[in-house]
Chains A and B, each alone.
Chain A
Amino acid sequence: DAKTTQPTSMDCAEGRAANLPCNHSTISGNEYVYWYRQIHSQGPQYIIHGLKNNETNEMASLIITEDRKSSTLILPHATLRDTAVYYCIVSPLTGANNLFFGTGTRLTVIP
């Protein structure tokens, strides 16, 4: 069952920041926000996750609102290789038996 909503598609100019929003208004206190992406037909790639603080790694930044009802994944300098479907998923702290992928956001990076 979907616990997140994302825009169907987005475009971003190469070299600019890509900001991908996600609403998870029914998230509970014991659930993380995870982001994965799927490039063409490859296996999903883990990007980042967070609970309530903003997070940053070598791939992206994750900004979670104070009420935790929404978040934004930021790719600081998008490249053509970032073109993919991006999935925002909520998952229990103790681990999920199954991740619900939904339809995600198809990000197209434009040269």
Chain B
Amino acid sequence: NAGVMQNPRHLVRRRGQEARLRCSPMKGHSHVYWYRQLPEEGLKFMVYLQKENIIDESGMPKERFSAEFPKEGPSILRIQQVVRGDSAAYFCASSLRTGRGTDTQYFGPGTRLTVL
């Protein structure tokens, strides 16, 4: 009964490199959410995806950040040309989203990105 899985757990990149963060939702969940937590701050919503669709990307930075959730495989959060300000913990959550009642988001352990 695996929960939300994220990998890698820790990622170190140099400025200008690309970072790819992966998220596998809980079994049976087809809705994925990405959040970012900067040091000493609260979690901030980035993007909400359903299989093959971006539903809400109102929290995504306009440049360098993209997300996808393909029909097969995990959801990917991609950060191009990373800068030191991208250093943060990135959390993924998943839910059932039945629309018929409560829809709890369950979170993964996070990926800690450090940009040197």
Hey, which bits of chain A sit against chain B, CB under 8 A? 32, 34, 36, 38, 41-46, 49, 87, 91, 93-104
Query: In the complex, A95 Cα to B97 Cα: how many Å?
Result: 6
B48: CB under 8 A from chain A?
Answer: yes
Nearest B residue to A87 by beta-carbon distance?
B42
B101 near A93: Cβ-Cβ < 8 Å: yes
B1 neighbours in A (Cβ, 8 Å): none
Hey, which bits of chain B sit against chain A, CB under 8 A? 4, 31, 33, 35, 42-45, 48, 55-56, 58-59, 89, 91, 93, 95, 97-99, 101-110, 112
Query: In the complex, A75 Cα to B66 Cα: how many Å?
Result: 39
B4 neighbours in A (Cβ, 8 Å): 43
Query: In the complex, A36 Cα to B107 Cα: how many Å?
Result: 10
Nearest A residue to B108 by beta-carbon distance?
A43
A38 neighbours in B (Cβ, 8 Å): 43
Shortest Cβ-Cβ A-B pairs, 3 listed: A95-B103, A98-B45, A43-B107
Nearest A residue to B104 by beta-carbon distance?
A46
Nearest A residue to B110 by beta-carbon distance?
A43
A101 neighbours in B (Cβ, 8 Å): 35, 42-44
Partner of B105, one of A93, A99, A100, A103: A99
B105 near A49: Cβ-Cβ < 8 Å: no
Partner of B99, one of A36, A91, A94: A94
19 contacts between A and B (CB under 8 A): A36-B107, A41-B89, A41-B110, A41-B112, A43-B91, A46-B105, A46-B107, A93-B101, A93-B102, A94-B103, A95-B98, A96-B103, A97-B55, A98-B45, A98-B48, A98-B59, A99-B43, A100-B45, A101-B42
B89 near A97: Cβ-Cβ < 8 Å: no
Report if A42-B102 is in contact (Cβ < 8 Å); known contacts: A98-B33, A101-B42.
no
Partner of B109, one of A32, A42, A97, A102: A42
A102 neighbours in B (Cβ, 8 Å): 42
